[in-house]
Amino acid sequence: MKVGVVTFPGTLDDRDAARAATHAGTTAVSLWHNDADLKGVDAVILPGGFSYGDYLRCGAISRFAPVMEKIIDAANGGMPLLGICNGFQVLCEAHLLPGALTRNHELHFLCRDQKLEITNNQTAWTTSYKVGQEIVIPLKNGEGSFQCDDATLAALEGEGRIIARYVGENPNGSRNKIAGITNERGNVVGLMPHPEHAIDPLTGPTADGLAFFTSVLNAMVK
Amino acid sequence: MAKIVVDVMLKPEILDPQGVAVSAALPRLGFTFAKSVRQGKRFEIEVDGEPTPAQLAEVEKATEKLLANPVIETFTVRVEK
């Protein structure tokens, strides 16, 4: 199974995302923002970083990169798509996911190991977790506060589309402590914290993040 | 040459931490006039000649698509002489 990892100008975490995909037993394929070609991949990861310098709004310019047109089409057709951090911001700007990520409520850039609770294990990226499972993975962002209107929030809650919440103090002011959400179909997931930095205890705080990448392998094999 | 100005603001219901930080800094400097502050963005777009209604409609469209995020922001488009 081939998992594409997109590199925009200013992307930081593409190597770790590719490493995580490889570690999970899939083949990582590099995708370049300026190529309108998905190279036959079965799933795509939009990694973290500061694509286009976060100019205008985080993800606002990357969302119109040539590769994104193909990715949006494929995701609308059911292809698994995971956006991590800046990738989550790109997914919201592309309207593949509702809401938006805004400046952390305390204004500080955060970089810490964060405890999360998995709240939906029915998506393409979370089947290897149990609902209620607590995991610790790095959180590092300046604009990670998930915001949406009341109707959208009620829909996300009512349809079980919140896939992970922050445990303990709300680190960035996200509504209802939302750390990640999915679309109606469950193939597109956006997550603020970084599972790709926590795939083995040698290089991360835990190996808790690996299951995102094994989940997609299971989803495709099924 | 005319200038088209696009002002973009966060919707009133969206928390604006930058505005909050500015409004907290003002009284520390002795400025006590502000009940609240909200911070936004301003785009200045130069065009040749007097902007036509069609041009302004294009700017509106571009703002909805790129310059602003209608999920969290509102905007106004005007011509500055």
Give me the count of residues in chain B. 81
Find out whether A212 and A125 touch, Cβ atoms under 8 Å: yes
Q: What pLDDT score does B22 carry?
A: 95
Residue range B26-37, pLDDT digits in tens: 999 999 999 999
How is residue B47 written in tokens? 């065009």
Q: Does B69 touch chain A (CB under 8 A)?
A: yes
Model pTM greater than 0.90? yes
Residue range B31-63, pLDDT digits in tens: 999 999 999 999 999 999 899 999 999 999 999
Could A147 and B72 be called an inter-chain contact, meaning their C-beta atoms sit closer than 8 Å? yes
* Closest Cα in chain B, distance from residue A207 (Å): 34
* Burial class of residue A216 (count of CB atoms within 10 Å of its CB; 0-12, 13-18, 19+): buried
CA neighbor of B22 nearest in space, from B9, B14, B31, B13:
B31
Domains of chain A: 2-221 (3.40.50.880)
The domain of B52 spans 2-80
Residues of chain A falling short of pLDDT 70: 222
For residue B38, give the CATH number of its domain: 3.30.1280.10
| ipTM here | 0.86
Find out whether A59 and A93 touch, Cβ atoms under 8 Å: yes
Number of domains within chain B: 1
Separation between Cα atoms, residue A178 and residue A101, nearest integer Å:
11
How is residue A214 written in tokens? 């094994």
Find out whether A117 and A180 touch, Cβ atoms under 8 Å: no
Facing B69 at nearest CB: one of A60, A145, A149: A60
Could B17 and A107 be called an inter-chain contact, meaning their C-beta atoms sit closer than 8 Å? yes
Measured over the CA atoms of residue A5, residue A91, residue A110 and residue A200, the dihedral's sign is: negative
- Side by side, the strands of the sheet bearing B40-47 are B40-47, B2-10, B73-80
Q: What pLDDT score does A222 carry?
A: 65
Measured over the CA atoms of residue A125, residue A127, residue A132 and residue A136, the dihedral's sign is: negative
